[in-house]
């Protein structure tokens, strides 16, 4: 694959019948994605600090009753799940921003067809058209 020049706003993929992307809409999408990246990085930093505190406080569990130990374990598992979710969202958002810059924003990663401008505006991290997203969800 050669180097892809960044698409002009009006060249980004849209579904038949949709208006082309305007420069303002592209700027809005870029601003939203970069803001989300900053927010998620902050969330991961906070989550990392919380997890470090939970690990430090858990110690060897000496002196804790079973309920305390169980509660600490549940809290730690919850923090780990939140951190994993934030990490996944961060990666999706960074990929979306990279696609926006590459001019491939709004193209389904499975079939290559336009995802749809309305879907991209509602869910800026979308990488799949509705049809392929539904297939993915049915597969589990």
Question: Would 63 be classed as within a structural domain?
Answer: yes
Mean pLDDT of 27-49: 94
Torsion of CA 99, 103, 31, 41, to 10 degrees: 20
Q: Print the domain residue range for 59.
A: 12-139
Domain count, the chain: 1
Question: Would 2 be classed as within a structural domain?
Answer: no
Tell me the percentage of the chain whose pLDDT exceeds 90. Answer: 64
Q: Identify the band that residue 1 occupies on the pLDDT scale cut at 50, 70 and 90.
A: very low
pTM metric for this prediction = 0.78
Q: What is the CATH number of the domain that holds 34?
A: 1.20.120.910
- pLDDT for 104 equals 93
Q: Decide if 57 contacts 71 (C-beta within 8 A).
A: no
Q: Decide if 126 contacts 120 (C-beta within 8 A).
A: yes
Residue 98 Cα distances to 34, 67, 75, 104, 137, angstroms: 11, 46, 35, 9, 25
Does 138 score more than 80 pLDDT? Answer: yes
Rg of the Cα trace of the chain?
20
pLDDT digits (tens, 9 = 90+) for 67-115: 777 787 888 888 889 899 999 999 999 999 999 999 999 999 999 999 9
């Amino acid at each position: 694959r050669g180097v892809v020049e960044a698409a002009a706003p009006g060249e980004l993929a849209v579904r038949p019948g949709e208006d082309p992307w305007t420069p303002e809409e592209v700027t809005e999408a870029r601003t939203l994605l970069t803001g989300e990246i900053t927010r998620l990085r902050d969330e991961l930093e906070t989550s990392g600090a919380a997890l470090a505190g939970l690990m430090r406080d858990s110690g060897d569990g000496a002196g804790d009753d079973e309920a305390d130990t169980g509660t600490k374990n549940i809290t730690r598992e919850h923090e780990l799940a939140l951190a994993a979710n934030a990490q996944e969202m961060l990666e999706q958002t960074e990929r979306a921003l990279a696609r926006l810059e590459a001019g491939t924003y709004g193209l389904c990663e499975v079939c290559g067809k336009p995802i749809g401008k309305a879907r991209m505006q509602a869910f800026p991290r979308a990488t799949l058209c509705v049809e392929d997203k539904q297939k993915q969800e049915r597969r589990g």
